[in-house]
Each structure stands twice: as C-alpha cells, then as structure tokens.
C-alpha cells in the first residue's frame, strides 16, 4: 500500500511539474523563439565569416548593452613619440602598436610589471617605425594567437625584423577585413579600416578599430588620416565612442571635423612625445577638441594613461592635460 501511495504521489508531482513547465513555456514562448532565431542567425554569421577568412576568433555579435562582469583596462603607454596601447579584459590581452625601437626597455618592463603573460591579439596598425619599432621584441618575448597587420610591406630593417620575429614563432600576419568583428574576452572590436587596397600615404593603411565593452566604447585610429576617416564615415553608421585616440599623434592630417562629430567622444587621448620634432599635436586639432570641451589626456604630459571601464563608466588614473600644441 505504502509503495502504491508513493507511486501515486510521484505521478501527481510529475503532472504538476508538467503543468508548470507548460505555463512557463507559454509565458516566455515569444522570447524563446526570438532567442532561437538569434542563435541560429549568429551561427550563420560565424560560418560565413569563417568561410571568408578561416579564422576562429570572429565575434558574431556586437557586445553593446550586454551585461559584463569585471573591468576593461586600457593603458596608453608612454613610449615617447609613437603609439602603444595595452588592452586587457579578464585573462585576455591585446597590444596595439609597440612604439619605436628606442622604447623597447620601457615597453617590455611595463608589460612585465602589469603581469602580461601572452596576447590574444597584437595589432601593428601600419609599418611606420614609431608604431612597430619594438614589436619584434614583444613577439620574441610573448606568445600570441593572432597578429593583425594591414596588407602592405616596406623595405625597412624594422619591418624585416618584425616579419622574422613573427615567422620565428611559426605564425604569419592576418590581414583584417573591414567590418570583421573579433572577441577579446567579454569585449569585442570591429575593424573599420583600411578598406581600400592601396593608398599613397602609409598612414592610411592604419588599422582602425572600435572596441566595445558593455555600454562603453573606444576608437583606436593609429595614424589614419582624413581620407581614411572619410572612407569610414561612408561605410559605417555608428561611430560614436566614449574615448577617441586622436589619429596621427594629433596631427592636422587627421581628426577631421566630420569624423570628430561622428565619434563625438567624451574623452580624447593623444599619444605623443615631449618636444617631438614633428610638431605634434597641432593647434588645428587641439582647438577642435578644446572648442567641444572634450577633456584631453596626453602621454607627453600625463605619462602612461590608464583608463578603466566597468562596462558603464570610464575612469582615468590621471587628471586631463592641457590643450597646448607644438605646430599649426
Ligand atoms: Zn605615428
């Protein structure tokens, strides 16, 4: 009898559970359908992108407005006249550019002091010495998954050293296609440039990315000039970003008013050497930033600038700098 009663109770429980499940499915049915559709769509997007380039690091969605845990840490490293930006999210790390060859010791000791173990990505925005100068030393020191580099070569020793260092790791450059998205932990970034096959100025080969973490976003421009900015404006709708790394060290060649308005940054960063011989940044560029009341952080005044996003808010480890300039 006792056994029968138990059985009876358990089948009653099963029926009750069934009813609850049915009710739940009915209530959230619409959501389930759209989620299913979303995931199917994502699968399709990943497949088609993999077909194009055969890389497995593509992101299928924009992380905008996605709940994130932890922080995104962006360091604009003081490498004198040049660019080098370390980006970390959880265990994931990426380096955009590696300054000149003279900054090698400073750069390597900074990366070591920050406890960097390896890189998911290294980006060489373009082949100029103030961007790839110490990247060969970085590659000789740290393992990495993907090295993004534009499809352009130069005959300099610096470039040759970099190619050899990458080859010695048994790797090669990946040419990013404009529009492609990659994941960096819970952050993602989209390639916005270059989109043409050839340019007169090496600067315009610069890989430009927009990186998104939760509600925050960053625009990293390398040395892209206004011609590349125009191509980006013509190809992409949402260029808004909280932080804009000004193109080409604040030179007049970059940060066209149209591009600046489209990005509409809350903060600007200039990576530039003190008393540099190029007269960067220029009055033209700094006046644009000043007139829009955008706080500017600059490596020649603040040294290495660390900027932390929790996915909602961005904080800097230093106070903003001045709008002073070197050239016109
Ligand atoms: Zn440069």
Domain containing 210 — which CATH number? 3.60.15.10
Q: Give yes or no: residues 100 and 27 share one domain.
A: no
What is the Å distance from ligand 1's center to 77 Cα? Answer: 14
Q: Give yes or no: residues 131 and 219 share one domain.
A: yes
What is the Å distance from ligand 1's center to 128 Cα? Answer: 6
Q: What is the pLDDT of residue 55?
A: 42
Q: Is residue 64 part of a domain?
A: no
Q: Give yes or no: residues 150 and 293 share one domain.
A: yes
Q: Give yes or no: residues 181 and 123 share one domain.
A: yes
3-state SS, 60-93, equals CCCCCCCCCCCCEEEEECCCCCCCCEEEEECCEE
pLDDT mean for each 10 residues of the chain (328 residues) = 45 50 41 39 33 41 67 98 98 98 98 98 98 98 98 96 98 97 98 97 98 98 98 98 98 98 98 94 98 98 98 98 94
What is the Å distance from ligand 1's center to 247 Cα? Answer: 8
3-class secondary-structure state, position 132: helix
Q: Is residue 325 part of a domain?
A: no
Q: What is the pLDDT of residue 65?
A: 59
What is the Å distance from ligand 1's center to 145 Cα? Answer: 25
What is the Å distance from ligand 1's center to 298 Cα? Answer: 14
Structural domains of the chain, count: 2
Q: What is the pLDDT of residue 14?
A: 58
What is the Å distance from ligand 1's center to 29 Cα? Answer: 53
Q: With contact defined as beta carbons under 8 Å apart, do 322 and 301 qualify?
A: yes
Q: Give yes or no: residues 14 and 120 share one domain.
A: no
- List the one residue out of 311, 314, 306, 322 whose CA is nearest residue 85: 306
Q: Is residue 128 part of a domain?
A: yes
Q: Give yes or no: residues 208 and 265 share one domain.
A: yes
Q: What is the pLDDT of residue 78?
A: 98
Q: Give yes or no: residues 311 and 212 share one domain.
A: yes
* Rounded-to-integer distance, Cα 92 and Cα 144, Å: 11
Q: Give yes or no: residues 42 and 92 share one domain.
A: no
Q: What is the pLDDT of residue 67?
A: 82
Q: Is residue 327 part of a domain?
A: no
What is the Å distance from ligand 1's center to 258 Cα? Answer: 22
What is the Å distance from ligand 1's center to 78 Cα? Answer: 13
* Rounded-to-integer distance, Cα 281 and Cα 261, Å: 19
Q: Please give the distance of CA 129 from its chain centroid, rounded to a whole number.
A: 21
Q: Please give the distance of CA 319 from its chain centroid, rounded to a whole number.
A: 23
Q: Give yes or no: residues 123 and 25 share one domain.
A: no
What is the Å distance from ligand 1's center to 142 Cα? Answer: 23
Q: Give yes or no: residues 166 and 230 share one domain.
A: yes
Q: What is the pLDDT of residue 144?
A: 98
Residue 155: both structure tokens together: 């005959």
Q: Give yes or no: residues 251 and 134 share one domain.
A: yes
What is the Å distance from ligand 1's center to 177 Cα? Answer: 22
Rounded to a whole number of angstroms, the distance between the first and last alpha carbons of the chain is: 97
What is the Å distance from ligand 1's center to 281 Cα? Answer: 12
What is the Å distance from ligand 1's center to 248 Cα? Answer: 5
Q: What is the pLDDT of residue 9?
A: 52
Residue 175 CB partners (closer than 8 Å, separation 6+):
148, 149, 150, 151
- List the one residue out of 34, 40, 49, 44 whose CA is nearest residue 183: 49
Cα dihedral value 86, 238, 252, 157, nearest 10: 40
What is the Å distance from ligand 1's center to 216 Cα? Answer: 26
Question: How does pLDDT run across 229-244, given as a tens digit for each residue?
Answer: 999 999 999 999 999 9
Q: Rounded to whole angstroms, what are the CA distances from 161 to 144, 154, 173, 227, 286?
A: 17, 11, 13, 29, 35
Backbone angles phi, psi at 140, to 5 degrees: -70, -25
Residue 250: both structure tokens together: 């604040």
Q: Is residue 26 part of a domain?
A: yes
Question: For residue 327, what is the DSSP state?
Answer: B
Q: What is the pLDDT of residue 17?
A: 52
- List the one residue out of 75, 312, 103, 84 whose CA is nearest residue 217: 312
Q: What is the pLDDT of residue 200?
A: 96
What is the Å distance from ligand 1's center to 132 Cα? Answer: 9
Domain that holds residue 298: 72-316
Handedness of CA 39, 43, 48, 49 (dihedral sign): positive
Kindly state the greatest CA–CA separation across the chain: 97
């Amino acid at each position: 009898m006792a056994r029968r009663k138990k059985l009876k109770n358990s089948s009653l429980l099963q029926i009750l559970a069934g009813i609850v499940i049915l009710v739940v499915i009915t209530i959230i049915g619409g959501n389930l359908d759209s989620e299913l559709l979303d995931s199917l769509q994502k699968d399709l997007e990943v497949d088609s992108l993999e077909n194009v380039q055969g890389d497995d690091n593509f992101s299928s969605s924009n992380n905008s407005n996605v709940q994130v845990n932890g922080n995104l840490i962006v360091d604009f490293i003081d490498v004198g006249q040049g660019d080098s930006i370390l980006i970390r999210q959880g265990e994931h790390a990426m380096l955009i550019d590696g300054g000149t060859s003279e900054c090698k010791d400073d750069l390597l000791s900074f990366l070591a002091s920050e406890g960097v173990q390896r890189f998911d990505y290294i980006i060489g925005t373009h082949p100029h010495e103030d961007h790839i100068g110490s990247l060969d030393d970085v590659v000789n020191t740290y393992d990495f998954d993907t090295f993004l580099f534009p499809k352009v070569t130069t005959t300099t020793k610096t470039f040759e050293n970099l190619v050899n260092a990458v080859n010695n790791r048994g790797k090669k450059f990946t040419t990013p296609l404009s529009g492609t998205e990659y994941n960096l932990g819970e952050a993602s970034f989209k390639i916005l440039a270059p989109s043409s096959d050839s340019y007169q100025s090496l600067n315009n080969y610069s890989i430009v990315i927009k990186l998104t973490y939760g509600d925050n976003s960053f625009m990293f421009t390398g040395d892209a000039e206004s011609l590349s900015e125009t191509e980006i404006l013509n190809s992409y709708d949402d260029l808004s970003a909280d932080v804009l790394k000004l193109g080409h060290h604040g030179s007049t060649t970059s940060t066209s008013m149209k591009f600046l308005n489209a990005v509409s940054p809350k903060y600007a960063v200039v990576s530039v050497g003190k008393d540099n011989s190029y007269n960067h940044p220029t009055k033209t560029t700094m006046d644009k930033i000043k007139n829009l009341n955008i706080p500017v952080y600059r490596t020649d005044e603040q040294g290495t600038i660390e900027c932390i996003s929790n996915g909602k808010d961005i904080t800097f480890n230093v106070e903003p700098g001045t709008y002073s300039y070197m050239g016109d």
